[in-house]
Amino acid sequence: MKKIVILLVALFTLSAAQAQILDPVKWTFAAKKTGKDEAVLFFKATIDNGWNIYSQHIGEGGPVPTSFSFTPSGDYQLVGKVLEPAPNKKFEKTFNMQVLYFTKEVVFQQKIKLKKGQTVVKGAVEFMVCNDTQCLPPDEKAFAINLK
C-alpha cells in the first residue's frame, strides 16, 4: 500500500511540474511628465531568453501583433500612436512570412496631452510570445499608470 501511495504522489508531482504555466514576458508601466500638460507613457516588456514578442505592424496571417487599448477618459488625450523602436526582422516558416519582432526587452511609448493635473491612465496591452518551438496563446495585461 505504501508503494502505491508513493507512486501516486510521484505521478501527481510530475504532472504538476509539467503543467507549469509559461509566462516569458514581464510588463512594467510608467509615465513621465514632459511639460505642464504633456506626458509620455512607457510600456516596457522584459522578455525571457529564447522568446520574442511581435511588433504592432504585422501583416495578416502572421502572429498576433502587439496592440494597446486605452480606457476613454476626459482627463487626457492621446497624441499620435504608440511608438516602438526599430524591430528585428526575419522570415518565419511557421507563418510563411517576414515578421517584425523584439527580443530581451522593448519599450513602447505613447504621448498624451493632460486636461487635468492628476489622472490615472488605464488600459491593456495584448501580445503574443513565441520561441523556436512554440507560440503561446495571445495574452493581455491591464495597466493603470498614475500621473501626478
Query: What residue spans of 2-148 are helical by DSSP H?
Result: 2-18
pLDDT digits (tens, 9 = 90+) for 109-139: 999 999 988 899 999 999 999 998 999 999 9
**Topology classification of domain 22-147:** Immunoglobulin-like (2.60.40)
Average pLDDT of the residues in 29-45: 96
Cα 30 to Cα 11, 33, 52, 74, 107: the distances in Å are 44, 10, 22, 20, 10
pTM for the structure as a whole: 0.84
Burial class (CB in 10 A: 0-12, 13-18, 19+), 109: middle
pLDDT digits (tens, 9 = 90+) for 72-120: 999 999 999 999 999 999 998 888 999 999 999 999 999 999 998 889 9
Cell of 123: 488600459
